Amino acid sequence: MNLDHELLRQRNLPLGGILFLALGFTLTGLGYPFYVTRGAGWLQVVTAGAVAASALLGYYRPRIAMLGVLFLAPVLPIPLKTLLGYDAILHLYLIYAALAGLMLRERRRIWQFAAGLDRLLLWAMLVFASLAVVSGLIAGARYSPTIARLLAAGPLAQFTRVHTSYATVMSFVFASMNLLLGPLLFVALAARRVGRSGHGDADVDSETDRWSIGEAIAALLAGACLSLALALVQTYAPEHGLPLANGWPSGLMTDATVFGGTIALLIPLALAVAVFSRYRLLRAVSIAALVLTALITIPLESRLMQGSMLLSPFMVGAGWVAGRALRGETDRDLWLRFAAVTVIGVVITLGIATWLMPGTELMRYVRALVTVPQMEEILAGGARRAGPGSSAYGS
Amino acid sequence: MGRDYPIAGIGFGSFTWELLNYYQLSGAENRWFDMPHNFYLQVFAEMGTVGVAVLLVLGLAIGRILLRPLGRALHPMKLGVYLGAGTASLMSFFALLWGPFLIFVEYQVVFWFALFLVHWAGEDEREGSRGIDLEGVYPAILSARSSALWLVILAISVIAALLSPPIIRA
């Protein structure tokens, strides 16, 4: 056990593991949108479960769990919700479990951090989140069949809004919990910073801290790459006779969506210039172009990628890499990390290219491998879904 | 919905469900939309003016974090992170005019992570290394006045929600 633990503490393991998972996801989805493949969907379920279990059991360091959550959060909802139905929220259970484990382990640091946080921000986060939870719970109660029955004869009968499904009631609970996830992550991340900055944690130092943030960025980049790839594949699905997974008519897909997706894939190239160019001026121009791209692209991207907030990791990554590049810190670690992310991007791009060129033997082979017999039923079910929940919790 | 339930809103997460009733009541033929596609409007519809007011305070607090590094000499790496994450955070506020993105897990994780990076980049090195005595942590986080204000806001929202009338079915 000790030996395992030491192995797991090697610095490059979290990043390596995440990149391995990213490659696994990409390869299993290669050539076909893997949100309709049962095998890949369950692979992600198993992975998420492993991450959650590791956080809860404390076998890995919490950082690994945190990185896993960061990576999985942008990727998981699309396949699982389509695979299991729009009310399927298994991935949320897993993410909450992982975060809960992380928060429990880090509670001392979280308290320490909270004491030093901007008071107004902390107060507003607490009030807004608690307001959402209370409001969601009350709304859920008003729809509850049981409460409706209990209050039917009393003066509070008018309190209820009778609904017939407990799935509806649960959706309010999870809507409220959803809103808590982000602030919790913010506090958890920042709390780790505090813990590392001078409270006697012997096995971490400022260098490790830099690694941690870098790894988190890399994890988000990888997750965002996959999400963007899925979004692009979905964009082109109707052109090849496939209905969209979330039941939207193909007419809703706009040119702006394709434009934004293309820009998103070009951003890593601009990053490459920012890192690899020998000329400071070119690096600076590339960085400026990245910021400008964000300013132009993000407001345009409001349909398929839902505001293109998924582009944010690219901008964060751009800023981080650019900062190091401007300082001349293009050491081996940076190159390795960047190369790894680039490899993933290339694999994803190849996957998309394969998808865009149907009819090849490879394409047919891959489709046959990953397609399940019930796919048509799943797609038909997805196409039928409209109204509540059709885009509220889907992509 | 905002007009019908101005104080506490229709209830967090209710918009999608109650929209069907509003469609029926208004006799609308186009029923494609299940979201207002504007986060601010959605908060108003679901959490009322109370929710919007708190959201404004939250925006103000986030704005302070975004502005904090200005005028400071930042390490080049932190400057890069600040530029990237700051741009992403700023653009997110505009993006929210077109969609209810912050209710989606995948987007809000990204949003808060970017905000954390801004916070980290603008952090004074001395701030991060100070020791904090855990004795009396709660008073250090929230004063009695802040806690009282928190409870009052929650109470207003709860009372308004409990007293609000049910939707009239078509």
pLDDT digits over A341-389, tens only?
555 555 444 444 444 444 444 444 444 444 444 334 434 444 333 333 3
Residue B49's pLDDT band, with cuts at 50, 70 and 90, is very high
Residue B81 has pLDDT above 60, yes or no: yes
Contacts of B95 in chain A (CB under 8 A): 298-299, 301-302, 307-309
Q: What is the pLDDT of residues A76-108, one digit of tens each?
A: 544 444 444 433 344 445 555 555 555 566 566
Task: Name the closest residue on chain A to residue B14, using Cα atoms.
Answer: A139
- Which of A121, A321, A393 is closest, CB to CB, to B62? A121
Tokens of A6: 């030491």
Contact B47 A131 (CB under 8 A): yes
Give the pLDDT score at A44: 44
C-alpha A92/C-alpha A176 separation (Å) is: 12
pLDDT, average across residues A149-172: 62
Q: What residues 293-332 of chain A have any CB closer than 8 A to a CB of chain B?
A: 294-295, 298-299, 301-302, 306-313, 315-324, 326-327, 329
Tell which wins on pLDDT, A349 or A123.
A123
B91 to chain A, any CB pair closer than 8 A? The answer is yes
Q: Cα Rg for chain A, rounded, in angstroms?
A: 23
Residue A232 has pLDDT above 70, yes or no: no
What's the one-letter identity of residue B82? Answer: Y
How far apart are the CA of A89 and the nearest CA of chain B, in angstroms? 11
Q: How many Cβ atoms sit within 10 Å of the Cβ of residue A186? A: 23
For A55-84, b/e burial (b = at least 16 CB within 10 A) is: bbeeebbbbbbbbbbbbbbbbbbbbbbbbe
Q: Are B108 and A178 in contact (CB under 8 A)?
A: yes
Q: How many Cβ atoms sit within 10 Å of the Cβ of residue A368? A: 9
Residue B53's pLDDT band, with cuts at 50, 70 and 90, is very high
Q: What is the pLDDT of residues A140-151, one digit of tens each?
A: 777 776 676 777
Contact A309 B92 (CB under 8 A): yes
Give the pLDDT score at A126: 79
Give the Å distances, CA to CA, from A138 to A11, A132, A169, A187.
Answer: 46, 10, 10, 27
Give the pLDDT score at A131: 84
Rounded to 10 deg, the angle between the A312-326 and A255-276 helix axes is 20
How far apart are the CA of B124 and the nearest CA of chain A, in angstroms? 12
Residue A111's pLDDT band, with cuts at 50, 70 and 90, is low
C-alpha B65/C-alpha B52 separation (Å) is: 20
Task: Name the closest residue on chain B to residue A223, using Cα atoms.
Answer: B106
**Interface-testing mutation among A110, A117, A316, A390, with chain B (most B C-beta atoms within 10 A):** A316
Q: What is the pLDDT of residues B26-42, one digit of tens each?
A: 777 666 666 777 788 88
What is the average pLDDT score of chain A?
50
A282 to chain B, any CB pair closer than 8 A? The answer is no
Q: What is the pLDDT of residues A172-225, one digit of tens each?
A: 655 565 565 556 556 555 554 444 444 334 343 444 444 445 555 555 555 555
C-alpha A212/C-alpha A243 separation (Å) is: 41
B31 to chain A, any CB pair closer than 8 A? The answer is yes
Contacts of B104 in chain A (CB under 8 A): 77, 178, 306, 393
Residue B73 has pLDDT above 60, yes or no: yes
Has this prediction a pTM greater than 0.80? Answer: no
Contact A158 B76 (CB under 8 A): no
Tell which wins on pLDDT, A45 or B1.
B1
Q: What is the pLDDT of residues A5-64, one digit of tens each?
A: 333 333 333 333 443 444 443 333 332 233 333 333 444 444 445 444 444 444 445 455
Contacts of A387 in chain B (CB under 8 A): 20, 31, 34
Task: Name the closest residue on chain B to residue A143, using Cα atoms.
Answer: B14
C-alpha A121/C-alpha A119 separation (Å) is: 5
Give the Å distances, CA to CA, from A191 to A201, B33, B129.
Answer: 13, 40, 12
- Which of B102, B114, B137 is closest, CB to CB, to A115? B137
Q: Are B42 and B35 in contact (CB under 8 A)?
A: yes
DSSP-derived secondary structure letter, A198: T
Write the DSSP assignment of A84-150 as a string of letters: H-TT--HHHHHHHHHHHHHHHHTHHHHHHHHHHS-HHHHHHHHHHHHHHHHHHHHHHHHH-HHHHHH
Give the pLDDT score at A78: 46
Tell which wins on pLDDT, A392 or B111.
B111
How far apart are the CA of A220 and the nearest CA of chain B, in angstroms? 8
C-alpha B81/C-alpha B85 separation (Å) is: 6
Give the pLDDT score at A86: 37
Tokens of A237: 């699905």
Through-space distance between the first and last CA atoms of chain B, rounded to whole angstroms: 15
Residue A117's pLDDT band, with cuts at 50, 70 and 90, is low
A105 to chain B, any CB pair closer than 8 A? The answer is no
Q: How many Cβ atoms sit within 10 Å of the Cβ of residue A362? A: 11
Taking alpha carbons only, the member of A313, A261, A319 closest to residue A287 is: A319
pLDDT, average across residues A316-337: 59
For B69-88, b/e burial (b = at least 16 CB within 10 A) is: beeeebeebbbbbbbbbbbb
Give the pLDDT score at B41: 86
